[in-house]
Chain A
């Protein structure tokens, strides 16, 4: 499994350790607790806003998915509120950076 290649195709994958029963984030081939090889699955796309701010007309939000994955994404439209439910609308890689577009649920 190549996380970056999947992300480039718009798929958000999650590495998980079956032994420790935990998500390993950022994505990694090995568990950061026991070093066993992880397994991969499609990640949930829904999460909640932890914090946010705005640059020019565009909000950027720190969101939490599956209670452990935290990423910063751009809000496609609307006005965010802390704690609000959101989902990853689109994801990919642009200019070598991960790219997450999120929308309010």
Chain B
């Protein structure tokens, strides 16, 4: 099977702006084109839009606004991991020979309807994500004797890292005390434990091996893909202290890429809430169960940006449909050694972990230079 690579990308700054979804889509697409003068609109065979926005026909709308007349155009929605789902769809079109060049554009507004899964009535009146996050946090703390103070290191670390990300929503750093004393949302969750919904766009251009090399001297290859959906409803999770779908997706991605977790130099993991970062590290295999915080503490004290260099969702903000694409762009920049102050030394192989609805589904990508 011939390789599929990342040829170009464009990002908007994440903000609380009241912009139309179409403008956000166009803005990141324009940035992608601006950064790649070799790219001809006629080369683009497919335009995929990743969003939870209720506006319809957005891939055709974006195509028209960008002067593209693609063969394939449609939206992809899968709540918080819409972005990597769209990338996997693009990969598949290229691998199948139905397209050679695919533009994947993710965007969301701060008031996205994708934050609430209306269908999940098992959650009763507790449908807001802070409730599953509280259950996860409580279960994780109980099972592994972890304290709120320890978990508070996650936002401290990730805001510190996002300070070096010019596109991040957060421009502040926080102390442990500030995180612990931030507004208490539930007994197990504080405001700074949460990633924040925001307005943002992220575009990425995928192409087949030979075509990719026409656009860039530093293509980044997608060498592994793993996806798993275990359920839609939060309460169907078999555990509340680990991420089963992420574990399975990572296993598949490593199998496809013929790599292991030990090969990963840099990773973006889906820290929707503080507790998600140690849980993700454990489920992906970076560390044993219950030991995620040890790894995070060590990375933080040594100023090692290996995990969530752009600040993760907590630091960068979480525009749902754009998140997985922004994560993939970050790892691309890291592998191209173009991540400026966030650069992890000599990063050759990277990983993206993007999940939805309390880890009921996950996507894991392995990227290589």
Contact = CB atoms under 8 A, between A and B. Distances in A.
Nearest to A100: B124
A26 B122 contact: yes
Interface in A32-55: 50-55
Interface string A50-65: 1111110000101000
A54 B130 CA distance: 11
Question: Which of A25, A72, A73 gathers most chain B CB within 10 Å?
Answer: A72
A31 B217 CA distance: 54
Nearest to A52: B138
B121 to A, nearest CB: 4
A70 B186 contact: no
A24 to B, nearest CB: 12
Contact of A51 (B124, B130, B139, B186): B139
A55 B126 CA distance: 10
A49 to B, nearest CB: 11
Interface string A81-105: 0100000000000111111100000
- Give the one of B125, B131, B187 with max A CB within 10 A: B125
Contacts of B126: 60, 72
A73 B125 CA distance: 8
Contacts, number: 66
Interface residues of B, number: 25
A71 interface: yes
Question: What range describes how many residues of A lie at the interface?
Answer: 20 to 34
Contacts of B135: 51-53, 62, 72
A97 B185 CA distance: 21
Given A54-B187, A71-B235, A25 B139 contact: no
A29 B256 CA distance: 39
B16 interface: no
7 contacts: A26-B121, A50-B240, A51-B135, A55-B131, A62-B135, A72-B131, A98-B122
Given A71-B123, A71-B235, A72-B124, 6 more contacts: A26-B233, A55-B186, A62-B135, A70-B235, A74-B125, A99-B124
